[in-house]
Structure 1
Amino acid sequence: MAGKLYGVGVGPGDPELLTLKALRLVKEAEVIALPGQVPEDTVAFKIVEGAYPELGKKELLAVPFPMSKDPEVLKSYHDAGADKVKAVLDQGKDVVFLTLGDPTVYSTYLYIHHRLVAQGYETEIVCGITSFCAVSARLNTGLVEKAEPLHVIPASYQIEDALKLSGTKVLMKAGKKMKDVKAELLSQGAEAMMIENCGMPDEKIYRTVEEIPEDAGYYSLIIIKENKDRREE
């Protein structure tokens, strides 16, 4: 009988934000899969290790993902990753795949999940605290109020039109395009705050667009609030 695949969200960075269910599954797991070439070097590993120091004693499975938008390259890696996980499941072992934030939000895990679900394997997604909820809490502010909509936007693509949407905008994965993103925010007079590496030891907080560095890292998340005058109408 094949094992079961769990996609487990480990939250944004602070080990104390790991859920009780996630921690239990990690402790019970036969195999821990992590998105990277070297499991011990991944951010997800370090987060969980902070709550469960014995993590390194588990059987670890590296599942590399490329930083590429080439469809053929992506498909090749995703197929190979699914095959690696499948090989372990076929041994009758359960696999816990750790992923940052929540597995349902722009997660690398989903590429593996979709493939194995299609092949009939048993899977379960275990939610984690999303990065944008953690950033909002860290900034000590709400995301949305009353009837305000919330828009979660991948900033690595075109954002000009998205920034014109009403309500609160969350820009994720802005790192490589931060110079362009910052310029667009300034041109639109947006009210925005950003946290880089939320919940991690090297966390940095920027409370205005002007403060945001153009060379910010990959784990940078921007929250753009509705103009204050409009919110108070």
Structure 2
Amino acid sequence: MTGKLYGIGVGPGDPELLTLKAVRLIKECDVIAVPGKQKEETVAYKIVKQAVPEIAEKECLEVDMPMTKDKEKLAQSHKAAFEKVSQVLDAGKNIAFLTLGDPCVYSTYIYIHQRIQQAGYETEIVSGIPSFCAVSARLNQGLVERSEMLHVIPSSYGIEEGMKLSGTRVLMKAGKKMGQVKEQLKKMNVQASMIENCGMENEKIYHSIEEIPEEAGYYSLIIVKEQ
């Protein structure tokens, strides 16, 4: 009998935001999988270890998921990841694959999930708190009200079209393009706040466009609202 793959959302950074279901499955599964070459350097693993220290004793499958837009490299990494995961499942072991935030929102995990599912293995996605919900809560404000629309925009691909939409706009993964994003925001009649590393020890909060730095880390999220 083959094992089952669980995609476990661990939330944005605060270990106390792990769900009870996530904690239970992490403890119950035979194997932990992480998106990285070394588990100790993987953010998702570091978060979970604070809440479930016993994972240090569990078998861990380290799955390299390079940050690239190169389609060929991505295809190769997804294929290699599938082979690693499927071998463990074929041995009858259940896997808890840890992923930041929610597995359904711009997650690298979902590509492995799709391949494993298409191959006929049993899979389940376990929702985690999305980063934009955690950021809004940390800013102590609502995300949308009444008839307002919410738009989640992957900033590394450009924000021009997304910023034309009305309502609250969430800019994710601006990272290396932070300077360009900030310049575009300055030209618009909007208010913006950003949190870098929400819920982590090195968390930084910026309450205005002017405060946002030209360079910021990968785990930076901007919430843009109408004036």
5 Å matches for 1:44-55? 44-55=44-55
Retained in 2: the 8 A contact 1:40–1:56?
no
Residue aligning to 1:209 = 209
5 Å matches for 1:174-213? 174-213=174-213
Does 2:172 match 1:166? no
Residue aligning to 1:101 = 101
C-alpha distance in 1 between matches for 2:55 and 2:179: 38
C-alpha distance in 2 between matches for 1:125 and 1:102: 9
After TM superposition, where is structure 1 displaced by more than 4 Å over at least 4 residues in a row? none
C-alpha distance in 2 between matches for 1:189 and 1:43: 35
Residue aligning to 1:79 = 79
Return the offset for 1:35. Answer: 0.4
Does 2:221 match 1:224? no
Retained in 2: the 8 A contact 1:32–1:60?
yes
5 Å matches for 1:117-132? 117-132=117-132
C-alpha distance in 2 between matches for 1:14 and 1:152: 21
CA deviations over 1:80-125 (Å, ceiling 9, x no partner): 1111000100000000100000000001110100101110000000
Return the offset for 1:189. Answer: 3.4
C-alpha distance in 2 between matches for 1:52 and 1:31: 14
Retained in 2: the 8 A contact 1:171–1:222?
yes
C-alpha distance in 1 between matches for 2:118 and 2:176: 33
Q: Which amino acid aligns with 2:147?
A: A
Residue aligning to 2:141 = 141
* Secondary structure at 2:156 match in 1: coil
Residue aligning to 1:230 = none
Q: Which amino acid aligns with 2:115?
A: R
Q: Which amino acid aligns with 2:50?
A: G
C-alpha distance in 1 between matches for 2:79 and 2:106: 18
Q: Which amino acid aligns with 2:83?
A: D
Retained in 2: the 8 A contact 1:152–1:171?
yes
Return the offset for 1:190. Answer: 2.4
* Secondary structure at 1:156 match in 2: helix
C-alpha distance in 2 between matches for 1:74 and 1:179: 27
CA deviations over 1:164-219 (Å, ceiling 9, x no partner): 21000000011111011111111223210000000000000000011001110000
Question: TM-score scaled to structure 2, two decimals?
Answer: 0.99
Return the offset for 1:28. Answer: 0.8
C-alpha distance in 1 between matches for 2:185 and 2:64: 33
Q: Which amino acid aligns with 1:177?
A: K
Residue aligning to 2:24 = 24
Residue aligning to 1:231 = none
C-alpha distance in 2 between matches for 1:83 and 1:188: 47
Return the offset for 1:155. Answer: 0.4
Retained in 2: the 8 A contact 1:11–1:17?
yes
Question: TM-score scaled to structure 1, two decimals?
Answer: 0.96
Retained in 1: the 8 A contact 2:189–2:226?
no
C-alpha distance in 2 between matches for 1:111 and 1:204: 31
C-alpha distance in 1 between matches for 2:175 and 2:189: 20
Retained in 2: the 8 A contact 1:153–1:169?
yes
RMSD of aligned Cα (Å): 0.7
User: Any stretches of 5+ residues in structure 2 without a counterpart?
Assistant: none
Q: Which amino acid aligns with 1:218?
A: Y
Q: How many residue pairs align between the two structures?
A: 227
Does 2:36 match 1:36? yes
